[in-house]
Amino acid sequence: DTAVSQTPKYLVTQMGNDKSIKCEQNLGHDTMYWYKQDSKKFLKIMFSYNNKELIINETVPNRFSPKSPDKAHLNLHINSLELGDSAVYFCASTLEGGRGEQYFGPGTRLTVT
Amino acid sequence: AQRVTQPEKLLSVFKGAPVELKCNYSYSGSPELFWYVQYSRQRLQLLLRHISRESIKGFTADLNKGETSFHLKKPFAQEEDSAMYYCAPSNTGNQFYFGTGTSLTVIP
């Protein structure tokens, strides 16, 4: 049983395209996150959702739009993809309102050509 | 401003040698502190959290509030410890700020 899953695992696309990454957790957690890990392995929080409500929106271009249809899902839609969007995107979730252990998904490696 | 610093981007030690990965934080309030590990091309996973005071895979970390540090230590490094390590303080408000990470290589 995978606790936090993401699809797809790999995504290769061209500049200007629109793509989505899906995330699901079956842990019953209330809070979910999206992180971006760049080529230097820097890990930066992008968004945080608590019970389907946006809590954190870090300095992220508005081409990135998270959507949470229910508290078990947090999807990330990216419009007009740019070369700099190439990275590994991790979804994560926590139970304790942001102070507990984070459970990470396997990551989605996005390559924009 | 919330800040977490891991001064060593790369760290290499020989197998069997002690290892220390440094983490300093600048945070308001009383953050909870975590170390996460990422093995090659895998997801991040929790290594330890300071409130549990557990030793995981031989690693320990002591919270020093005076120095605002949470260094990760292991007395005898193993090859399987080679990985990326992230220090991550968190506080209320659903905020996690990860350090820049330290890539540990254990040389056989």
Summarised one tens digit per residue, pLDDT across range A16-35 is: 999 999 999 999 998 899 99
Cβ of A48 within 8 Å of Cβ of B91? The answer is no
Measure A83 CA to nearest chain B CA, in Å. 21
Exposure string over B42-76, b if 16+ CB within 10 A, otherwise e: ebbebbbbbeeeeeeeebebebeeeebbbbbebee
* Structure confidence at residue B33 (pLDDT): 86
* Structure confidence at residue A97 (pLDDT): 64
Q: Which residues of B touch A47 (CB under 8 A)?
A: none
* Structure confidence at residue B1 (pLDDT): 63
Distance (Å, whole) CA A92 – CA B44: 9
Q: Is B96 on the interface with A (CB under 8 A)?
A: yes
pLDDT category, A51, cuts 50, 70, 90? confident
Cβ of A106 within 8 Å of Cβ of B92? The answer is no
* Structure confidence at residue B92 (pLDDT): 59
Cβ of A106 within 8 Å of Cβ of B42? The answer is yes
- Mean pLDDT per 10-residue interval, chain B, length 108 residues: 86 97 84 90 89 82 86 96 92 72 97
Largest CA distance in chain B: 43
* Structure confidence at residue B41 (pLDDT): 84
Which residue among B46, B84, B97 sits closest to A101, beta carbon to beta carbon? Answer: B46
